Structures are given as C-alpha cells and as structure tokens.
Chains A and B, each alone.
Chain A
Amino acid sequence: MTFLYQVINGLQVGSIYALVALGYSMVYGIVNLINFAHGDIIMVGAYCAWLAMMKWGAPPWISILFAIAFCTVLGMTIEKVAYKPLRKSPRISLLITAIGVSLFLENLAQLVFTANPQRFPTIVTLPSIQLGSRQLSATTIMTIVVSVFFMVVLSFLVNKTKMGKAMRAASEDEATAQLMGINVNHTISFTFAIGSALAAVGAILYCSAYTQLSPLMGVMLGLKAFVAAVLGGIGSIPGAMIGGLVIGLAESLTKGYISSQLADGVVFGILIVVLLIKPTGLMGRSMNEKV
C-alpha cells in the first residue's frame, strides 16, 4: 500500500510538473528560448489567487479565473516587451533577458509581499480516501484529474484547431510559416498566453497541495518542470507530459524509499542518463546539421 501511496503522490506532483513543463516546451518549440521567467509566472499566479481570496474575499472560482487571466496577460506582456525586440539577437542574449525578467519578478514579489511565506487557503473540502493505513487527500485526486483534463484540452487545441496548426507550423519553420500567411507574431503571443495560463493552473494545484506560497517558490518548481520538458524532449507536448510524470514519480519514490535529501540528485541523475543515451530527450527529434 505504501508503494501505491508513493506512486499516487508521485503522479500528483508529476502532473503539476507536466503542466508547467508544457509551458516551457511550447515556448521553446516556437522561439527556441528557455523561458526562465516561466517558473516565476507560477509564483505570480499563486499570489494572484491568494490576494483575491485572502485580501479581497473573492470566492475561489473567481480567484482562480483572476489568476489565470492575470498570468495570461503577464506572459504576453513579457514576450512583447522583453523577448520580441531580441528575436534576431544571439540566443544567449535572449536567455539572459529571460533570467533578468525572472529575477525582476522574484525581487518585485519580495518587495511587495515580503520574503515570508504565506498560507494558502484550502479550496476543495472533500473527505479524504482511506488507502490501507494511509490517507489519500481529495486534493491529490483533484490535482491529477484537473491536470489530465488540461492536457487533453491542450492536445486538442494543438492538434485539431487552426491556431494549433499555426503553432506547429511556426515552430517547424518560422520563415516558411510566415510565407504561408501565418501571423507569426500572433502565434507566438498565443503560445505564451497558453503556457502562462497553464502555469497559473499549475500554481493553484501546487498551492493546494503544499498550502504555502513564497516569492521564490517558482525557482525550484520551474527548474524541475524544465528538466521534465528536456527529459521528454523539448518542443514535444506528449514528451513534456511523460517527462513531468517521470520526474514526479522518481522524486516521490526516492523520498519514500531512499532519502528526501537525495531526491533532487536522483532527478538530475535521470536527466543526465537520458540525455547521454538519447541527446534530444525521450520524444525529441534528432537535429543533425546537414553538411
């Protein structure tokens, strides 16, 4: 039973990683940028929901919508202001800009909300399930269900809609997509919007699970999610989902059976092994330069 419990826990945190990893992966696919600020958008989403509920007394569903809306706009704004001017610059400059945006959000949050962690209120109050000798909280189940729901929606969006087709075309070859009449600027904006909205959802799920939020909460969460995206094959949507679940399970099982201190080490160890065997991740396409 303990094993099952650890697996379910792993699926819970893994599905959050997967949601966040999708944001990294989609953005990387389309602009080739490790969006370092993505983790901090999660943090902003968490503070939005917390503000709405605790300070303004809004009901949870309004607060959640507010968080999603705010993050969506924030994601698009960051792209327009900080990334778009650098689209033709060396990639490393773009990366440093993303790091700058990330530091800016973290420090601004510390300035506004102080560095002290805040308590996140419970949103769902459902009875927990007895699993052998352990309790399985409703939040856990909810997290997995909600994540799966959003992944299905996203897959539909990317594979079946016109905008999804534009996204895939632009990530394949931006110049050609433009020649085919696709508005690449809109498509990139849209990608950032979707990624940020998913980050907000991830933020609320994360805070429900760990009932705490702080200005630096996005750093490690973002890093793990990014690792998940790379592990799955960056740019690949199913890859991000699989990567997230693998990382979540590995972390949970290490914590349960070996040592919680080694969990991060194991996560990065898996990443290194996978990259050395398959340099573009589990589901990634190989990219060899033609001579």
Chain B
Amino acid sequence: MQTFANPTRFLKLSDRLLPWAGALTLIAFAGGLYLALVEAPQDYQQGETVRIMFVHVPAAWLALLVYSFMALAHSTAIVLRHPLADVAAKAAAPLGASFAFLALATGSLWGKPMWGTWWQWGDARLTSMFVLFLLYLGYLATWEAISDPMRGARIAAIVAIVGFINVPIVKFSVDWWSTLHQPASVLRLGGPTIHSSLLLPLMAMAVAYGMLFIWLWLIGMKAEILKRRVRHMQIAAAGKA
C-alpha cells in the first residue's frame, strides 16, 4: 500500500486502470441488467416488484461498505500517515452518499406496494439507513466548509470514525429490533435463504455496483490529487506576485 502513497505513482497506476475499470463496469451492468430484467423470474408473492431488490440491495450494501471504507481510510491516515488515505475517503464520500440515497428511494418504491407505505419512522432499519445518509451529507459538508485540506481532513476523520458506529446498527437493526423490514436473507450465518434464480441476478448487480464504485472512485481520487496540485500552484504563484 505504501508503494502507492506517492501521488505521482498513483496517477500513473490509475491511468492504466481507468479504461479497464470503465469497460468492466459497462460489461457488468449489461450482464446484471439482463439477468435482473430478463432472466430473473417473478416472485410468487411479490410478482414483478421483486426486481426492485436488484437495484435496492446492492445500493444498500455499497452505502455501508463505502462508509466503512472511509472510516478505515481515515484511521489509516491517522495511524500510518498515508498521504493518500484522506483523499481516498473524500473521493469515496459522494459515491457512498448516492448509494445511500438510492437505497432509501428504491426501498421506498418497494415499500409502497408491498407494505402499503412509503416510509415508516418507527422502523429501525429505515431510520438507521436515513441516519447513514445524513452522516454522508455531514461528512461532505465538512469538506465543503473547510478550505484547508489538512484541517478539513482532521474534522472529516472525526465525522467518519464516530459515524461508523451507525454501520453495525444498520446491519443488525433487523436482528436487534422487531422491524417492518425483513431480516437479512443473503449475508447471514447459515447462508442465503433466497432461491438461486433470484440470488444470481442480485450478485451480478452487486458486482456491477462494486465495479462502478471502483471506476468512479479512481476518477475521483485522480481529480482530487490534481485539485490539490492546482491549489499548491495557485498559492505558490500568489506568493511570488
């Protein structure tokens, strides 16, 4: 990991990886959408509505994974002083926020026909997921509000690491409390409980979402490194003038 601590080396590596990541993302989405919309059968209870799961569940998984990644990246920056760790967390945040928003929006679109309601404040899973979305917004607002990247990184690290407490709450809320939201059916001890004809498209879409994250995260990292270079050059030019 320390090999890519050098921003110039990271930029060279990302230039090599970006075309591949972009192509793999498109292929993964083409395959995933075909399985989700064409191959997957209707559910005997939910009917066609089950197809919402193929965009809702990967978005929710990614929202949780990305936040965990951000907390880990900031911890790495604090402990190992890795110069790109803060950049990695910052580049991941808008992606995670979008996934959290999609998990809430598509979940609501599933809830209306299945539960008869768009939203239920008393439900622990829904509310903790909404808190995760707010944490993402707070994290992004922190970076926006502080122009100095070093200071911004310190405060953003606090938001990310403290906010990480919410991640296991989201994950285990369906086990700890009696909720409207159904319990875990894929990532659980004892293995998945859903049929392989629905599990396969779900996993394919999860891979597509994961690839999209990697591709856009690499672009975001590269953009953030260049932004910092521009800032340094502008400060240096202003100092000379």
Note whether A and B form a binding pair. no
Interface residues of A (CB under 8 A from B): none
